[in-house]
Amino acid sequence: MADLIMKDVAKAYGEVKVLSNINLDIKQGELIVFVGPSGCGKSTLLRMVAGLESITSGTLSIDGRVVNEVPPAQRGIAMVFQSYALYPHMTVRDNMAFALKIARKSQDEINAAVENAARILQLTPYLDRLPKALSGGQRQRVAIGRAIVRDPKVYLFDEPLSNLDAALRVATRIEIAQLKENMPDSTMIYVTHDQVEAMTLASRIVVLAGGGISQVGTPLDLYERPENEFVAQFIGSPAMNLLPGEIVETGPETVVRLSVGGLVRTAVPTRDSDKGLKVNVGARPEDMVPTEADEHLFEGTVGITEALGEVTLLYFDKKGEAAQVIAKLPGIHAGLRHKTLRLAADPKKIHLFSNGRSLLYR
């Protein structure tokens, strides 16, 4: 239960740089989610925190103590692995007690800790079972219980839900959220590639991409004010539409003429010198609304529609070089296929990116 500070942390395997320039300041009680596409190094970063991977350069400190060279067990961390990693030859009780036995705690202490963790996770009836007699969700809870009994300063979760089926994943996700609620002082780092997990669990999300941190912020921060095109497209599903254009009017509100036709007004402020700047206009599919007005963001023919009941996804036919535009309309819309539709969006929800960076941050 402490602060965790990474300073210029980097990881390289020989010549291959995997991560570099990681600066992160995690406060006590936060639930930080590392999210990113596969291969971005998020698990590596977590394993570096755990001490299972060495830190090539930079410093990692937990609770004010530099722990670069400290073995995992003495860092005050506990880790929950993606594959549970239960000890198959031990009962649930022994699995949870293992770390305490290694640490030579007294039997009373061990029993108390195990019973407590089992009670929190509702595992008490299963304490004397072997892992193979448990369901996937129960196994994952045992893995979490193993972390709880150690009473660590920092909990590390490495994609803990990705082995569960969809329904169980939602249930376990809520359990983890409740667990966090019950232990407000404990710090947690959670790795996932699932943005729903990231959005629902995190107090702050760290988006990792290309060997570095893309953006750090609260879930809604990332959603509403993405710092760059990568974060903008990574958070939210379907991904944000990006349309190339040119700034024609600057000021507290900016007007952009799109290369595929259309003119859009956005609440992003620009300087006079920005006039003529080539930008990408970002609009989330769910922010696009059909319009009859002349001032529109996009006009195109609906190619494929996906009716999900709750929403309808419209995939517009591609126009030239631009990426496919997707719109998400609430409710059911039948018969839109092959129709030409004009879309507009609230100026407050339009993003502008130049060279991949948002114009909000400069």
Partner 1 sequence: MLGLGGRKSPLVWVMHLSVLLLVVLWTLPTAGLFITSLRTADQISVSGWWTALSSAERNAITRTPDGSAETQVGDRYVIAGNVLKNGGEVVAFGRSSLKPTQFKPGEVADLGDGITLSVKADGSYELSGPTKLEGGQRIFYTARTPPAFTLGNYAHVLSANGMLRAFMNSLTVAVPATVIPILIAAYAAFALAWMPFPGRSLLIAIIVGLLVVPLQMSLIPILTLYNDIGKATAVDAHGVIGTLMHYSGLGQMSDDGTQIGLNPKSYLGVWLAHTGFGLPLAIFLLRNYMVGLPREIIESARVDGATDFQIFTRIVLPLSFPALASFAIFQFLWTWNDLLVATVFLSHQQDSLVMTGKLKDLLGSHGGDWEILAASAFISISVPLLVFFALQKYLVRGLLAGSVK
**Residue closer to partner 1, measured from CB, 111 or 203:** 111
Q: Which listed residue (87, 109, 337, 346) binds partner 1 by CB under 8 A?
A: 87
**Residue closer to partner 1, measured from CB, 71 or 276:** 71
Part in contact with partner 1 (CB under 8 A); list of ranges 83-91, 276-284, 289-297, 317-325: 83-91
Q: Which listed residue (141, 146, 284, 328) binds partner 1 by CB under 8 A?
A: 146
> CA–CA separation, 336 vs 203, rounded Å?
40
51 binds partner 1 (CB under 8 A): yes
Part in contact with partner 1 (CB under 8 A); list of ranges 130-138, 259-267, 268-276, 285-293: 130-138
- DSSP per position, 213-278: EEEEE-HHHHHHS-SBHHHHHHSSSSPPEEEEEEEEE-BSSEEEEETTS-EEEES--B-GGGTT-E
> CA–CA separation, 1 vs 62, rounded Å?
9
Part in contact with partner 1 (CB under 8 A); list of ranges 45-53, 287-295, 312-320, 347-355: 45-53
Strands 31-35, 187-192: pairing is: parallel
Part in contact with partner 1 (CB under 8 A); list of ranges 124-132, 285-293, 336-344, 351-359: 124-132
89 binds partner 1 (CB under 8 A): yes
Show the DSSP H helices in the chain as ranges.
42-50, 92-102, 107-120, 136-149, 166-182, 195-201, 219-224, 229-234
* Phi-psi category of residue 190: left, alpha or beta, with phi > 0 → left and psi -120 to 50 → alpha: beta
- Minimal distance, residue 100 CB to partner 1, in Å: 9
What angle (nearest 5°) sits at the alpha carbon of residue 59, between those of residues 58 and 65? 170
Residue 170 forms beta bridges with which residues?
A: none
- Minimal distance, residue 74 CB to partner 1, in Å: 8
Part in contact with partner 1 (CB under 8 A); list of ranges 33-41, 72-80, 225-233, 291-299: 72-80
Part in contact with partner 1 (CB under 8 A); list of ranges 128-136, 283-291, 292-300, 313-321: 128-136
Part in contact with partner 1 (CB under 8 A); list of ranges 69-77, 116-124, 177-185, 274-282: 69-77
**Residue closer to partner 1, measured from CB, 139 or 284:** 139
Q: Which listed residue (16, 102, 166, 167) binds partner 1 by CB under 8 A?
A: 102
Question: Which of 354, 307, 350, 355 has its CA nearest to residue 331?
Answer: 307
**Residue closer to partner 1, measured from CB, 65 or 337:** 65
Residues numbered 181-240 forming contacts with partner 1, rule: CB under 8 A: none
**Residue closer to partner 1, measured from CB, 114 or 327:** 114
**Residue with the two structure tokens 């103590």:** 65
Q: Which listed residue (14, 15, 132, 331) binds partner 1 by CB under 8 A?
A: 132
**Residue with the two structure tokens 């339009």:** 350
Question: Which of 166, 161, 168 has its CA nearest to residue 201?
Answer: 161
Burial class (CB in 10 A: 0-12, 13-18, 19+), 53: middle
Strands 204-209, 212-217: pairing is: antiparallel
CB–CB of 284/234 below 8 Å? no
Q: Which listed residue (1, 17, 72, 177) binds partner 1 by CB under 8 A?
A: 72
- Minimal distance, residue 103 CB to partner 1, in Å: 6
Q: How far is CA 70 from the centre of its chain?
A: 28
Neighbours of 28 (CB within 10 A): 15
**Residue closer to partner 1, measured from CB, 131 or 211:** 131
39 binds partner 1 (CB under 8 A): no
Residues within the interface to partner 1 (CB under 8 A): 50-52, 71-74, 77-79, 81-89, 98-99, 102-103, 130-134, 136, 139, 146, 150, 163
